[in-house]
Amino acid sequence: VAQLRQRFFNSISPGGLAGDRRGVVPASGFSFSAQQIWRVIKENKDLDLPAHKVMVATVRCEEIANEKFRRLSSDEDWLALEEAVQSGSVSGFGRRLSSILETYFSEYDSEATYFDEDVRNAKRKHLESKALDLVHPAYLNLLGHLRFKALENFKSRLEQMLKEAEGFAASARACTESCMREFDQGCADAAIKQANWDASKVREKLRRDIDAHKLSVRDAKLSELVARYEEKLRQLLCEPVESLFDAAGRDTWASIRKLLRRETETAVLEFSTAISSFELDQPTIESLLQGLRDYARNLVVKKAREEAGKVLILMKDRFSTVFSHDNELMPRVWTGKEDIKTITKDARAASLRLLAVMAAIRLDEKPDKIENILLSSLMEGTMTSPDPLASSTWEEVPPENTLITPVQCKSLWRQFKSETEYTVTQAISAQEAYKRSNNWLPPPWAIVAMVVLGFNEFMLLLRNPLYLMFLFVAFLLSKAMWVQMDVPGQFQHGTLAGLISISSRFLPTVMNLLKRLAEEAQGHRTPESPTQQQSSVAFQSFRNQSQLNPPSSIAESSVSSNVSVSDSSVEYSSPNLMQRRSTKVQEAELSQ
């Protein structure tokens, strides 16, 4: 209004309502000017100029609309609301923004109410469009905050429900419904009545984000379950399978198959129950279960390959166990009665069977001829053409199931025999040494020579019984000294060491025996050392023997009797009598 007033007051100034006086036409040129005006009018006779009120309404309504928009842009309430939205979600956003917009739209309506209706409405729509364009970014920002808040709530609630051991699918479904409901409520609160803004795109993005997080959590939980059951299978299979391979026999692979089947089916059943809460589709469930079965099988295959890599050590251990122990697993003592050749053959056969067990993977229960081929080619020495071991594959065994090729078996057998030959040699040497240490009789030809050459001396003994009695007493003394000095035990350490030990103990032993005889004759005893006690026990035992056996049975008794003395006891044995008494009991008898 002020601008129009100024233009009216200065109507003859440049730009005034009455025109610029500097552009006036003189009277002499009026005719020509009128002709020019008429010519312009005829040229523009079809020009549809708006009515005067329309032009006034257009200018005025536009000015009013621009003024209201400027005031809206600088409104303190709007600026505060916009700033609050930038930092987070705002409760009552739609209501507050609608109130601000309605205030300025109402002012426009009140000021433009007397102008042309069409122009007024058009300019109002233009004002609404500009105002909504101004506030729409804040609305979108608010929706972003609502989406982020809903997603975070979904994550925290899902995690909490899973910690409470609730089913994954049910928990995810409940969390999704509650979070989407909260988002919809937030969108309704953010809506303004001046516009019908669509929040479906933001809602769909929130749904996609929730589904993506739900899928990632599901995959993580499934991975944890799979890892847990794989670790359980590893603990249940590795050590038992390794133990079965260490004690490999004919039924090793049957036991492994049974173990694998039992533990796998148990784990699959438990795993299937555990993943039922995820509500997976059937193909996914089958894929997971098959993956667990494949893992268990691969675990056994891996362990079999590891054990096959140290098969030579296992073969030598098996050979040592069979060769050095009897059927009751007691350590074998080489006394000369054992058939080392047969024992060696049995031990090698056991090692070869172990090699046959480790040569291939037999999880499919398919028969093969590996053991027969190895036994016939390596143990029995059967030569066939072509050589069954001159190959890199086994008959009826797939290459992927081959652990040790025939060529490798042949090489391993040669190395095994060379490394165990020393053990056999040591056993033969020990057997021969034992025979030498226990063979006290002279050769048969020497016995015959003594009988022939000593016939006269034998007749002399028969004619003079005193000689026989003297020899008997000498025999008793010699045997007592034999037992006291433990002559066989001394010679077990070598001939030279035995002679030195006997020579050093001979004189003390004789003195102890004589002292014991003197004490027995006098009828009293002196305190004894442990060595003297052993001597007295041995002497008393032979004294009792001489009283029990008549002279005619002395020779037989001397051959069939065996007396051994240790640090704590004395043992006496004969074909008809076995006695074992402690040293203290023997001393008590002697004191009586």
pLDDT digits (tens, 9 = 90+) for 231-254: 999 999 999 999 999 888 888 999
Looking at the whole model, is its pTM more than 0.85? Answer: no
User: Are residues 171 and 76 both part of a single domain?
Assistant: yes
What integer is the mean pLDDT of 481-510? Answer: 78
Instruction: State whether 304 and 430 are in the same domain.
Output: no
Residue where a domain stops, chosen among 244, 279, 309: 309
- Say whether both 255 and 269 belong to one domain: yes
Q: Write the DSSP string, 518-547.
A: HHHHHT------HHHHHHHHHHHHHHHHHH
User: With bands split at pLDDT 50, 70 and 90, how would you rate the model's confidence at 152?
Assistant: very high
What is the distance between the alpha carbons of residues 367 and 250, in angstroms, rounded to a whole number? Answer: 12
Give 53-72 pLDDT, tens digit per residue.
Answer: 777 788 888 999 999 999 99
The reported pLDDT for the residue numbered 67 is 92
Most confident of 23-27, 250-254, 536-540, 545-549: 250-254
Q: 499 and 522 share a domain?
A: yes
Run of H or E residues at 497? helix 495-522
**pLDDT tens per residue across span 356-366:** 999 999 998 88
Please check whether residue 534 lies inside any domain of the structure: yes
Answer yes or no: is 105 within a domain.
yes
As given in the structure block, the two tokens for residue 358 are 């480790």
Residues 324 and 300 reside in one and the same domain: no
CA distance 310 to 157: 53
- Provide the pLDDT confidence category of residue 131 given band limits of 50, 70 and 90: very high
Last residue of a domain, one of 163, 197, 231: 197
* pLDDT above 70: percentage of residues in the chain: 80
Q: Quick one: angle between helices 530-548 and 495-522, nearest 10? A: 70
Say which residues have a Cβ less than 8 Å from residue 22's Cβ, sequence separation at least 6. 14
Of 106-115, 367-376, 411-420, 443-452, least confident by mean pLDDT is: 443-452
HSE, side-chain direction, 13 A CA sphere, residue 307 = 27
Kindly state whether residues 227 and 185 are assigned to the same domain. Answer: no
Question: Quick one: average pLDDT of 152-170?
Answer: 89
Q: Let me know whether 106 and 74 are in one domain.
A: yes
Identify whether 15 is part of a domain: no
Residues 188 and 56 grouped into a single domain: yes
User: Are residue 234 and residue 173 in the same domain, yes or no?
Assistant: no
What pLDDT is stored for residue 266 in this prediction? Answer: 94
- The enclosing H or E element of 578 equals strand 578-582
Whether the ω angle into residue 386 lies within 30 degrees of 0, i.e. cis, is: yes
24 is a domain residue: no
pLDDT band at 302 (very low <50, low <70, confident <90, very high): very high
Query: Looking at residue 425, what is its pLDDT?
Result: 92
pLDDT of residue 465: 74
pLDDT exceeds cutoff 90 at 586: no
The count of structural domains within the chain is 4
Domain that holds residue 116: 51-197
As to burial, measured by CB atoms within 10 angstroms (0-12 exposed, 13-18 middle, 19+ buried), residue 356 is buried
Confidence at 221, pLDDT banded by 50, 70, 90: very high
User: Does any domain span residue 32?
Assistant: no
Q: Which residues contact 133 (CB under 8 A, 6 or more apart)?
A: none
Same domain, 373 and 508: no
Q: Is residue 347 domain-shared with residue 274, that is, in the same domain? A: no
Each as own residue / partner, the long-range contacts of residues 470-477 (CB below 8 Å, 24 or more positions apart, any chain) are 472/546, 472/551, 472/554, 475/554, 475/558, 476/542, 476/543, 476/546, 477/513
The mean-pLDDT minimum among 5-19, 131-145, 147-161, 467-481 falls in 5-19
Residue 562 has pLDDT above 50, yes or no: no
Q: Does residue 63 lie within any of the structural domains?
A: yes
Q: Do both 172 and 64 map to the same domain?
A: yes
The answer to whether residue 579 scores a pLDDT higher than 70 is no
Structure token digits, residue 374: 């190895």
Domain assignment present for residue 185? The answer is: yes
pLDDT greater than 70 at residue 563: no
Last residue of a domain, one of 281, 309, 337: 309
**391 lies in some domain:** yes
CB atoms within 10 A of CB 252: 19
**Cα–Cα distance between 70 and 72 in angstroms, integer?**
5
Q: How far apart are CA 404 and CA 362, in angstroms?
A: 13
Q: What is the pLDDT of residues 327-357, one digit of tens each?
A: 888 888 888 788 899 999 999 999 999 999 9
pLDDT of residue 419: 93
